[in-house]
């Protein structure tokens, strides 16, 4: 099951999503990021070949039924430019995948993805992340809002633990995957 959630409803239900907007009065960006207890950057040794399957496994091990994805600023899921591109077969497949769920250049809300469809969904999210620089700010969170994720175009994944009690479970379950640490300053290690 993949369901669209209007942006305003998503913002009310999932208040721990990161957000940013531009304030013209002060000519600056305003940011919100939830309080985090642990902060990880992880990657796969094979780079990105198994990214979607390994993230799917991780969230299965964590017994998470679904994730909600949303951009941290108000933008449509598929830009008109990306929709019109025909230079990449993978990108065309990703755009068509999202369009099949009516997630396109007129939708700016959240998307709730059941764990059974997560692998395919992430595959297409990652494709667009790599091909469209403006698609770089999509985060995902579980219903309980304890674990926040973000996929970088390099294939590295940022995981923020928002509930300190969830960290031990996260560490136990991620050890069952192929993820390894990324060397970055001020991050916790798995």
Mean pLDDT of 80-85: 89
Residue 114: inside a domain = yes
Residue 102: inside a domain = yes
Q: Compute the distance between CA of residue 40 and CA of residue 6 in angstroms, rounded to an integer.
A: 29
Interval 39-73: pLDDT, tens: 999 999 987 789 999 999 999 999 999 999 999 99
Residue 13: inside a domain = yes
Interval 8-31: pLDDT, tens: 999 999 999 999 988 889 999 999
Residue 54: inside a domain = yes
Q: Compute the distance between CA of residue 21 and CA of residue 188 in angstroms, rounded to an integer.
A: 28
Residue 190: inside a domain = no
Please answer whether residues 10 and 16 qualify as being in contact, where contact means their C-beta atoms are separated by less than 8 angstroms: no
Q: Which domain holds residue 101?
A: 2-181
Residue 65: inside a domain = yes
The SS3 call for residue 39 is strand
Residue in 16, 142, 137 with CA at minimum distance from that of residue 73: 137
Say how many domains are in the chain.
1
């Amino acid at each position: 099951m993949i369901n669209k959630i209007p942006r305003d409803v998503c913002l009310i239900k999932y208040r721990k999503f990161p957000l940013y907007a531009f304030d013209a009065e002060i000519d600056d960006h305003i940011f919100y990021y939830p309080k985090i207890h642990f902060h990880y950057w992880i990657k796969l040794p094979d780079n990105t070949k198994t990214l979607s399957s390994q993230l799917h496994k991780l969230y299965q091990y964590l017994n998470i039924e679904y994730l909600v994805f949303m951009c941290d600023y108000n933008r449509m899921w598929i830009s008109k430019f990306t929709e019109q591109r025909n230079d990449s077969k993978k990108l065309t497949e990703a755009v068509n995948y999202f369009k099949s769920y009516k997630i396109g250049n007129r939708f700016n809300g959240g998307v709730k993805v059941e764990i059974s469809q997560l692998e395919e969904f992430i595959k297409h999210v990652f494709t667009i992340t790599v091909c469209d620089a403006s698609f770089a700010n999509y985060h995902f969170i579980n219903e309980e809002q304890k674990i926040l994720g973000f996929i970088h175009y390099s294939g590295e994944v940022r995981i923020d633990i928002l509930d300190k009690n969830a960290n031990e479970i996260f560490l136990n379950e991620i050890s069952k995957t192929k993820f390894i640490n990324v060397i970055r300053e001020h991050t916790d290690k798995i």
